[in-house]
Amino acid sequence: MSQSKILPPQPTRHLARLTFVAFLFTFIASRTLVILIMARRVPDLFLYLGGTHVHHLNYGIFLLSAVAGVLLFARLNDKQRSVCALVYGIGMALTFDEFGMWLHLGGSYWQRASFDAVIVLLGVFGVLAFLPRWQRIRAHHYIVGGLLLASVGLFYLLLFKSLSHANDKLMPRLMELERTGPQ
């Protein structure tokens, strides 16, 4: 009997893929929505409590806390674990989208650290989602993985250099958008 027939089913890869997709779409949606609100193309949907803008990283923290509590204290079936994976991806995206604000409290929403953190997390989630099971890794996987890692490293180097150039062009516009947008 082959090794793949002996191994128990692995829902982990499915959960990692759900987390990856939820993270990616939530990040894109939150960035798009913030830009549209700041540009006054959609109504101000920001939550204000006592005149204070509640940033979406707080929603992410609450979602992550809720998922942690459920996973710690409840017995879950596969469907419930899938829902937790989706909520986890959403919470991570909302939280890490404003990662720069963790580092520089009161700083701009457009901090580069937030973008960098999201890129790193997308890379980690992507690897976890699509990596073969450890029992199935062979020598060619290491070679392909090394080439992929080198390619991704080169891509990120070029991306960050181009972002530096784009930063010079876009940052003044984004800062003006933030300054004139809803407070």
The pLDDT of residue 159:
62
The pLDDT of residue 6:
45
109 class by beta-carbon count within 10 Å (0-12 exposed, 13-18 middle, 19+ buried): buried
Higher-pLDDT residue of 109, 142: 142
Q: Is residue 90 part of a domain?
A: yes
User: Which of 4-13, 105-114, 115-124 has the lowest average pLDDT?
Assistant: 4-13
Q: What percent of the chain has pLDDT over 70?
A: 68
Q: Is residue 2 part of a domain?
A: no
pTM, two decimals, is 0.66
Q: Is residue 152 part of a domain?
A: yes
**Does 22 score more than 70 pLDDT?**
yes
The pLDDT of residue 7:
43
Q: How many domains does the chain have?
A: 1
Q: Is residue 3 part of a domain?
A: no
Q: Is residue 70 part of a domain?
A: yes
DSSP notation for 72-141:
HH----HHHHHHHHHHHHHHHHHHHTTHHHHHSTT--TT-HHHHHHHHHHHHHHHHHHHPPPGGG--HHH
pLDDT in tens, 59-96: 999 999 999 999 999 999 999 999 999 999 999 999 98
The pLDDT of residue 141:
64
Which residue range(s) make up the domain with 30? 10-180
Structural tokens at position 34? 């913030």
Q: Is residue 4 part of a domain?
A: no
Average pLDDT along the chain: 78
